[in-house]
Amino acid sequence: MNTHGLPDPLRRAIAGDLRPVEPLPLLWKRALGVAIVAVAVSAAVLASRALRPDLVVLSPWVGWGAAILEGLAGLLVIGLALRESVPGQALSRRTIGLAIGIGIAMNLIIVVATRIDVAPGVALWGPLTRGMMCSRHEVMFAFPAFLVTVYLVVRAFPLRPQVVGLLGGLGAGLAGDGINHLLCPVSSLYHVLVWHTGAMVVLMLFGWCGGELWMLIRDRKEEE
């Protein structure tokens, strides 16, 4: 023991790795990084793919407005995930529940709102093929934002990585669905619930399981 009561092994461990560190950027700066990637992906996707043919029938508020709103909600949820990844900034169960509830409800409300306005008779190639393509697109559009979120989370110190993963998956899923909303012409409730909302739920579960796995590995390492 030294004069401060600091045990020698601890003092040696700390002194051996005392390089100066830069504190994490503020939450809004970290979230901005994700937003830039999400906007870049959206712009690239929308520039390279045909928009849904019935988009002209929808009012701009319902068509573009809903997509932007969903994208913003996704970024907000990612912001919550980034906040949760810093010790001492834990979200309450109520906030987590609200984020999940509002995220999924927003997805459904947008479906219902656009369904009312959509002109019927959009040609389908077969519900399964179309559905799988939509899910694939949704995950593809969501993945860059998800990866940036994971990178930022890994650089922090999440104490509940499964919660962070769940929110990260939901946020990225919402952002991906916002883009998909402008491309997918099928707005039947069945199609959206199974293939769009389903893809979002899969991303959430993927995030949750990834977090659980991370926690298990970390626990094992600590035990060793």
How far is residue 108's CA from residue 102's CA, in Å, rounded to a whole number? 10
How far is residue 208's CA from residue 128's CA, in Å, rounded to a whole number? 27
Q: Find the binder of other proteins among 47, 48, 223, 224 (CB under 8 A).
A: 223
In angstroms, give the least distance from the CB of 2 to other proteins.
8
Nearer to other proteins, 102 or 109 (CB): 102
Residue type at 182 in one-letter notation: L
Nearer to other proteins, 159 or 202 (CB): 159
Does the footprint of other proteins cover residue 1 (CB under 8 A)?
no
Residue type at 82 in one-letter notation: L
Does the footprint of other proteins cover residue 101 (CB under 8 A)?
no
Encoded tokens for 119: 């002109």
Q: Is 66 exposed, middle or buried (0-12, 13-18, 19+ CB in 10 A)?
A: buried
Does the footprint of other proteins cover residue 20 (CB under 8 A)?
yes
**CB within 8 A of 44, min separation 6: which ones?**
none
The residues in 74-93 that bind other proteins, with binding defined as CB under 8 A, are: 86-93
Nearer to other proteins, 6 or 205 (CB): 6
Is the CB of residue 149 less than 8 Å from the CB of residue 42? Answer: no
How far is residue 168's CA from residue 124's CA, in Å, rounded to a whole number? 32
Place of tokens 């199609």: 191
The contact pattern for other proteins, residues 142-161, with x = CB under 8 A and - = no contact, is --------------xx-xx-
Task: Single out the residue of 212, 208, 203, 63 nearest to residue 138, CA to CA.
Answer: 203
In angstroms, give the least distance from the CB of 7 to other proteins.
6
Q: Find the binder of other proteins among 1, 4, 48, 123 (CB under 8 A).
A: 4
Size of the site for other proteins (CB under 8 A): 37
**Could you list the residues that contact other proteins (CB under 8 A)?**
2, 4-7, 9-11, 13-15, 17-24, 26, 86-95, 156-157, 159-160, 219, 222-223
